[in-house]
């Protein structure tokens, strides 16, 4: 805790995930005052076809 879940269309490289985890953990530590060792981040990489926005599938936009 905090527990941060990030859902996105497509995939990230391992390096991108690593940097995102570093930055978001730092954000929670600096701004919310949460101890670094309690911050959990979790990624859901999903297909574009599994998202709708404004009534259309994301892969149509």
Give the nearest distance from C-beta 13 to its own copies in angstroms: 10
List binders of its own copies among 2-61 (CB under 8 A). 2-9, 12, 14, 16-28, 31-32, 34, 36-46, 49-58, 60
> What is the rounded distance in angstroms from the CA atom of residue 28 to the CA atom of residue 12?
22
> What is the rounded distance in angstroms from the CA atom of residue 48 to the CA atom of residue 46?
7
User: How many residues bind its own copies, per CB under 8 A?
Assistant: 49
CB atoms within 10 A of CB 16: 11
**Interface residue list for its own copies (CB under 8 A):** 1-9, 12, 14, 16-28, 31-32, 34, 36-46, 49-58, 60
């Amino acid at each position: 805790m905090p527990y941060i879940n990030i859902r996105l269309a497509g995939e990230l490289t391992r390096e991108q995930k690593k940097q995102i985890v570093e930055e978001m953990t730092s954000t929670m530590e600096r701004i919310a005052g949460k101890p670094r060792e309690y911050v959990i981040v979790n990624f859901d990489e999903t297909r574009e076809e599994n998202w709708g926005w404004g009534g259309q599938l994301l892969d149509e936009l």
